[in-house]
Chain A
């Protein structure tokens, strides 16, 4: 099997498991909606301030939903001790990692499909299309880094604690370019996001071999 076939098979396996058990997605969708309910109470909202904070709320919720989605990607395998079995197959560790990152990115995308209209409903403002484009572009790179640290964190004690501590600082450039996309330099910011995605996918791909070693 080629690298791509292995990765797609692992991604298909993860998404099929999710489709049959329907565990992570409903919980994540609920998490997203609850975060928006909290936003309603936590901010003093009116028509002007809602439009100003909406992109920030989008980023915050995507970051924290991402932590949950990527944390589950490897925690579930670890709980059932199926990660070892997966690594014993002839598929290379990098292909397995790529497949799992792909599936986790799909889960986060589904989550964003709830979040974007959710912000429209809860805050009463439409999101700027550029903010949505930036979040969609960032999902790729965030998934690569998030899954790398998720695979790393499940091998330690206190895994739920370690993933946010590692992932959040490393994700900051995505937020910086995402916020910059709304300041009138959108083409450059989106191009930088794309470049960042490529860099991060290459780095995570190189590092995955060492994280999924034993």
Chain B
């Protein structure tokens, strides 16, 4: 993702500067994402063996866990962007946080939906009868960052919005693990981790790694695109304000 954002720096540079124009880079990134997802689909549905207990439903795992990691990575970017902004009042980390928050929300939603589809046959899941801690803590995670986006929308634009949003992003990130562990400590149905304990067979691990790579590539592309869009919007607003100023000044000189 840092690669995507580093690439974002050069995105709006004029084409004669040597680097290819934004549309070429974006097209390359989109083609890369499409190829990566095609490879991931092959790995998940053809290459990886079928789970002997859960059957085909287990294949949801690859996208479910990858999306969750992508969402946490986005929220970590919101945290880092917020801290850097509060330290130096630099608009760039704030723009990065602003770009990453909705992408994180998107991948939280993907994780959510994938998890529920998986839980339906495996737990014989019915939300009115079965209550799961991870499901609830993910709902809280979603609500915290939806609140983050609302703060950006309702705060007076500019420095105030950046400052207040940074505080919400930092406090929210501190709270998310607390919510996570508090509900885990209480009670949960959610499976225990399999990846870091080595319980996952090698072929499934390979499929999962390819999926993770594809999802992270897509995340980087989305964040970088939003970053450039935000910067172009800021540039356009500054230009419009300048034009307005010139117009007002020339109007004042007429009489």
Contacts and interface: CB of A to CB of B under 8 A. Distances in A.
A214 B170 contact: no
Given A165-B147, A172-B140, A192 B164 contact: no
Contacts of A173: 175, 178-179, 182
Contacts of B160: 155, 214
A74 interface: no
Interface in B119-146: 140, 143-144, 146
Contacts of A210: 86, 163, 166-167
**Main DSSP-derived SS at the B contact region:** helix
Interface stretch (A47-55, A96-104, A156-164): A156-164
B167 A207 contact: yes
Contact of B164 (A156, A157, A179, A204): A156
Interface string A174-214: 00110110010000000010001001000110010011011
Residue of A157, A166, A192 with most chain B CB atoms under a 10 A cut-off: A166
Contacts, number: 81
Contact of B167 (A157, A179, A211, A214): A211
Tier of interface size on chain A = 20 to 34
A189 B178 CA distance: 13
Interface in A122-158: 145, 148, 152, 155-158
Interface string B158-178: 011001101110111011001
A197 to B, nearest CB: 12
Contact of B151 (A145, A156, A180, A213): A156
A170 interface: yes
Given A168-B143, A169-B144, A173-B179, A180 B171 contact: no
A172 B179 contact: yes
B144 A155 contact: no
A155 B166 contact: no
